[in-house]
Structure 1
């Protein structure tokens, strides 16, 4: 039976960043990934200043990622009901430390960059964890292929359907009552749009267009699925449904959807973990904890899912390294437990804040009605636009 000091379940953003952080501090870990290769689907994600602080704490890869992506200069919000621009918020460019700014980062590039920095053999693919059991202070991991291994420390970064979260007793992620369509389109002769994140909302719709470079655009569409399930299941019908609901959106923006190949549409239900479950639930217990979507799945309305997963990783590595580097083996178990408790304490309220803020932002922007639209577009627009910057103004600290 294999015995490992640190086992990380899941080779997503949180899992790879945690493994790399531990590696930077000289601590070996084993990452178990259920897929047979790196999961590189998902197109792009917004990386805010708080994410860059975490990336830069890992050393070296921030420069690689910035060089491959375009910095965005602001966020513009517009009502699809009136067609009016409700807010145009500039974003501060990267400073001399390079820890500010907003970039649309290719998820595949991010994961591959993290993987390339890890020692060969760190990730074990085709390793699906189906059960977790106690074995003295160790955790006994049972894999789908019959393999059993023991872990001194177990970190669950295994997404929304986390086995580790279920072991801790966290409730299953709940439906937000919405679905999200994500896609990507490339214009051969250039798209001609400013490097801004453009958000359109109203009538139960939230639509975003984000230029990634001079030719490529990532876009998303959040909506309440119609009763006719065939619209969601048939990609051509889904594309036409999206175009028909965009209201007073400029033709140049509508062309982003029109030029997209319907086979490239990814449609998934949006799920999140209720804040009260994060308040009262176990984020850690003994020598096991969760991070990323296994910990705090949230709606995409703040674009902080991947960013907060990176924050988790830095805080977790910091407390875990302190526990594992102690001089006495005799008190190691207590140090690990206390370290993970400190991680949970530090990350609990930040996660509750992001989950709740994202949910409320999406609910307000998508809600319909004359009074609600008036309050949102005339009184709350700048506040809602500034909410992105406020939540991104967070520093998770260094590794040591």
Structure 2
């Protein structure tokens, strides 16, 4: 399957908005099935949000399914445990979570995104491509209008929304406002620093040169997932994103690879997206 032009429009079977972990995983999953997709990224290059995250066994199964698990394993240490200091509790604690017997590693986000991107055919990712509006009035197709005047017509539009990391934002605010000294960022849970009383802190080795250290601010009140994301040692946000990508690619593959007229294909796509939602729910 490939793209083609109709007048001023470019027609694509699948358009994915944003070249993040989920978007690139979905695109690579589709590529492995022989289905072309176009990934739109508004920035000029891959957007690296965050340094690293803990990849659990469910993520490695997803990476193995799209054929890049082994190359990433060779770049990152197998972890035996992770150390976390919780300083916001009434009685601060330091704990070690054992990972013995499990395939868990601290993966650099840049390595993951670059590996995903390199496995995709040239031209799959279109940088500096900002979507300004979407027209879904036509029954079987959606039209995406880009800032540069390009019009994309597609059967399937997948929009991966980038949520700003509220926790990291508040940490930056606190560090700037309080002008924390190096000593105040010590992993000592008994520190008298007012900042130390509102954080989970931890660290994990990634490879021969890098250690991932995280600091998670704990707000006084919480409402909705955006205000209480899973902390880095759990890291199921990134892991689940990879699972999402693999499952979504498989569901769409079942719909797009079967022969049939346009109406039948559209119905299969709708069924595939509902199936994906039910499976991931």
Give the TM-score of the pair, scaled to structure 1.
Answer: 0.56
- Looking at both structures, which has the greater relative contact order when contacts are Cα pairs under 8 Å and sequence separation is at least 6? 2
Q: Are 1:204 and 2:231 counterparts?
A: no
- Given candidates 266, 271, 281, the residue that maps to 1:338 is 271
Runs (5+) with no aligned partner, structure 1: 94-99, 162-172, 182-197, 227-269, 275-296, 349-400
Query: Is the counterpart of residue 71 in structure 1 residue 71 in structure 2?
Result: no
Contact 2:86 2:201 in 1 (8 A): no
Deviation at 1:67, TM superposition (A): 0.6
Tell me the distance in 2 between the aligned counterparts of 1:310 and 1:9.
16
- Once the two structures are TM-superposed, the CA of residue 343 in structure 1 deviates from its matched residue by 0.6
Distance 2:143 2:235 in 1: 35
Matched, 1:53 2:61: yes
Offset at residue 303 of structure 1 (A): 1.1
Say whether residues 1:299 and 2:229 are aligned partners.
yes
| 2:248 aligned with 1:316 | yes
Q: Secondary structure at the match of 2:110?
A: helix
C-alpha deviations, 1:297-356, integer Å up to 9, x for none? Answer: 9714131111110010111011100011122224111100011011111112xxxxxxxx
Aligned to 1:16: 24
Shift of 1:39: 1.5
Partner of 2:112: 110
* Structure 2: unaligned runs, 5 residues or longer: 1-8, 173-186, 191-195
Q: Distance in 2 between matches of 1:272 and 1:129?
A: 27
Alpha-carbon displacement from aligned partner over 1:131-154 (angstroms, at most 9, x marks no partner): 111133211101112221111001
Which secondary structure does the structure 1 equivalent of 2:170 belong to? strand
Cross-structure match for 2:6: none
Residues matched between the structures, number: 247
SS at match of 1:326: coil
TM-score normalised per structure 2: 0.78
